[in-house]
């Protein structure tokens, strides 16, 4: 098997998870370069990495570069992505900067991996909440054609980075001790013992940027802009790891709960946990705690709509740092190897 020179750009929560997943998946790397703003040494699961400063020259000889991703105009992928491509690397970016560009594939490998054949050097990882949503939608769309989707998300604080995790932990500790809670710095208001119905800024219609990502990215990944998608709410909840989604769909062709379970059961990367009448309550439906540390997308609470024959309701849970970010990026790299789309 050929070996590939890999660069991981960024050493925050997602960057460290990328290093962990590359190791767990035994990705055929001849070497892994870790790049960030400044040089230092880090340790991930007992393995030491020497971090180099990110410069254009740092991408010489790199076959695939995984950008963990600060978003916005000063993001590393905006600064160095095209330079990395010019030096021969294929860039997989976890940020939002390239997702909606027409010439950049937006990919979840199990859903639209063939789109990688059209890449021009840069490939985008979808938003974490979109990644798990399309994993659930794809088999239903192929079988019965989706006409309408309504979705509400309940997103872990780790989606806001290490600052979000630290803020939840500090506030929870203060609450337990009966001490005053410091003013929030990551979130708009207190997150401990609370739910915040806003992720991202608001547009003129009152939708947040996170909510509209679900619309635009799902249309692009599924290749069908005719699906009517309504993002009901994207909420931040006091959970450290794992995003949850309540989803309602309507299809042209009715899909029974039995058929939906079969479709999901046959789809790679999906696990159905839907034993609400079973004795093992822990396996009755998926929770963020169960999804933590897994690359899989879990689906449960599957029900027929009580008022419309073509409607299904279900619950989707996934680890936002893995399938929602790091694991999906590594799986894209693995698909590039499978399709022989990396330089040797």
Is 219 one of the annotated active-site residues of the chain? no
Tell whether the model's pLDDT for residue 280 goes beyond 70.
no
Cα four-point dihedral sign 76, 81, 83, 85 = positive
Q: Are 303 and 313 in contact (CB under 8 A)?
A: yes
Confidence label for 72 from pLDDT (cuts 50, 70 and 90): very low
Check residue 242 and give left, alpha or beta (phi > 0: left; psi -120 to 50: alpha): left
Q: How far apart are CA 98 and CA 94, in angstroms?
A: 9
Pick from 1, 24, 49, 332: nearest CA to 9: 49
Q: What is the pLDDT of residues 286-312, one digit of tens each?
A: 999 999 999 999 999 999 999 998 999
Is 277 one of the annotated active-site residues of the chain? no
Q: What is the pTM of this model?
A: 0.95
Of the residues 128, 141, 216, 277, which is catalytic? 128
Domains with residue ranges and CATH for the chain? 4-125+325-338 (3.40.50.720), 130-320 (3.30.360.10)
Pick from 279, 269, 291, 284: nearest CA to 154: 291
Q: Are 330 and 25 in contact (CB under 8 A)?
A: yes
Question: Which alpha helices (H) appear in the chain, and where do they start and end?
Answer: 13-24, 76-86, 109-112, 128-144, 162-177, 209-222, 257-265, 288-291, 327-338
Q: Are 312 and 148 in contact (CB under 8 A)?
A: no
Confidence label for 229 from pLDDT (cuts 50, 70 and 90): very high
Q: What is the pLDDT of residues 136-169, one digit of tens each?
A: 999 999 999 999 999 999 999 999 999 999 999 9
Confidence label for 282 from pLDDT (cuts 50, 70 and 90): low
């Amino acid at each position: 098997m050929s070996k590939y020179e890999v660069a991981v750009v960024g050493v925050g929560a997602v960057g460290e998870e990328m290093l962990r997943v590359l190791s767990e998946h035994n990705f055929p790397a001849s070497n892994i370069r870790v790049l960030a703003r400044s040089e230092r040494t880090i340790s991930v699961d007992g393995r030491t990495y020497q971090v180099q400063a990110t410069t254009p020259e740092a991408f010489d000889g790199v076959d695939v570069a995984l950008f963990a991703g600060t978003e916005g105009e000063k993001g590393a992928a905006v600064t160095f992505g095209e330079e990395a491509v010019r030096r021969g690397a294929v860039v997989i970016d976890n940020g939002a900067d390239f997702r909606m560009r027409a010439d950049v594939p937006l990919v979840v490998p199990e859903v639209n991996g063939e789109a990688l054949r059209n890449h021009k050097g840069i490939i985008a990882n979808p938003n974490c909440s979109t990644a798990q949503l399309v994993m659930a939608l794809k088999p239903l769309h192929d079988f019965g054609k989706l006409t309408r989707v309504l979705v509400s998300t309940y997103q872990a604080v780790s989606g806001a980075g290490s600052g979000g995790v630290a803020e939840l932990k500090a506030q929870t500790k203060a609450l337990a001790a009966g001490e005053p809670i410091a003013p929030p710095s990551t979130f708009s208001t207190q997150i401990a013992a609370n739910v915040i119905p806003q992720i991202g800024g608001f547009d003129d219609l009152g939708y947040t940027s996170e909510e509209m990502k679900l619309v635009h990215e799902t249309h692009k990944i599924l290749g069908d802009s005719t699906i009517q998608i309504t993002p009901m709410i994207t909420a931040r909840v006091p959970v450290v790891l794992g995003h949850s989604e309540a989803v309602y769909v309507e299809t042209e062709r009715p899909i029974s709960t039995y058929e939906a379970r079969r479709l999901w059961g046959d789809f790679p990367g999906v696990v159905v946990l839907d034993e609400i009448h079973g004795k093992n309550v822990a396996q009755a439906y998926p929770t963020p705690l169960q999804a933590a540390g897994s690359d899989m997308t879990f689906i449960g609470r599957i029900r027929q709509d009580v008022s419309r024959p073509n409607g299904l309701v279900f619950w989707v849970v996934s680890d936002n740092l893995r399938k929602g970010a790091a694991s999906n990026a590594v799986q894209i790299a693995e698909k590039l190897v499978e399709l022989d789309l990396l330089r040797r």
